[in-house]
């Protein structure tokens, strides 16, 4: 796993946690590879508001304070690991086998810090659909994605079509 992919995966974890999504296959796989047990729900709930603020800050390119607050609460510990096989070391921001909430705090804080600084080029967006506000990692080629899901995209298209028809109807 290269540096960009590793940070990209951590950013996806940060985003799904901030959204309050059901644990994804990616999260299960990241937890398994790094020997992280499922987090205690109550402790996880204490991490989420700060994590959400940090994700929002990374999505908007600032302010940086929420990211620094997360880093201060869960200071990253840099490690190198080759669990993908000998000779394939990659960077870790937290020790394997750690408590899940601490691991998430350290790892997501470090990854979001990289994102807000523009390195590597991982883009976080916030859904443009009315009353959604979910975050997503934009890995479209030109970083032009505007919605968290196809559902929100088509919901918005239908709403725009209806309001155009309504406007046309009313002016006729």
Binding residues for Zn ion (CB under 5 A): 127, 129, 132, 134, 148, 152
Nearer to Zn ion, 36 or 70 (CB): 36
Residue 107 makes CB contacts below 8 A (sequence gap 6+) with 10, 13, 76, 92, 93, 94
Query: What is the residue whose two structure tokens read 């979001």?
Result: 112
Nearer to Zn ion, 113 or 152 (CB): 152
**Smallest distance, Zn ion to C-beta of residue 28, A:** 14
**Smallest distance, Zn ion to C-beta of residue 149, A:** 6
Nearer to Zn ion, 44 or 132 (CB): 132
- From residue 40, how far is each of 47, 76, 101, 102, 132 by CA, in Å? 11, 20, 8, 11, 27
Phi, psi for residue 41 in degrees, rounded to 5: -60, -40
Nearer to Zn ion, 64 or 91 (CB): 91
Strands (E), 78-162: 79-81, 90-92, 123-126, 135-138
Three-class SS state of 91: strand
Rounded CA-CA distance 99/87 in Å is 27
Per the DSSP assignment, residues forming a β-bridge with 80 are 91
**Smallest distance, Zn ion to C-beta of residue 145, A:** 11
**Smallest distance, Zn ion to C-beta of residue 69, A:** 25
Nearer to Zn ion, 20 or 118 (CB): 20
**Smallest distance, Zn ion to C-beta of residue 170, A:** 28
Rounded CA-CA distance 138/106 in Å is 22
């Amino acid at each position: 796993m290269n540096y960009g992919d590793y940070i990209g995966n951590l950013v996806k974890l940060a985003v799904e946690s901030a959204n309050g999504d059901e644990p994804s296959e990616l999260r299960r796989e990241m937890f398994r590879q790094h020997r992280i047990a499922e987090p205690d729900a109550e402790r996880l709930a204490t991490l989420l508001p700060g994590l959400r603020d940090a994700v929002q800050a990374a999505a908007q390119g600032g302010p940086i304070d929420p990211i620094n607050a997360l880093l201060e609460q869960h200071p990253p510990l840099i490690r190198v690991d080759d669990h993908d096989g000998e000779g394939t070391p990659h960077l870790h921001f937290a020790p394997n086998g750690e408590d899940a909430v601490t691991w998430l705090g350290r790892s997501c804080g470090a990854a979001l810090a990289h994102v807000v600084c523009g390195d590597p080029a991982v883009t976080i967006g916030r859904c443009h659909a009315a009353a959604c506000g979910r975050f997503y990692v934009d890995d479209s080629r030109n970083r032009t994605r505007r919605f968290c899901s196809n559902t929100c995209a088509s919901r918005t298209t239908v709403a725009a079509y209806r309001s155009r028809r309504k406007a046309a109807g009313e002016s006729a």
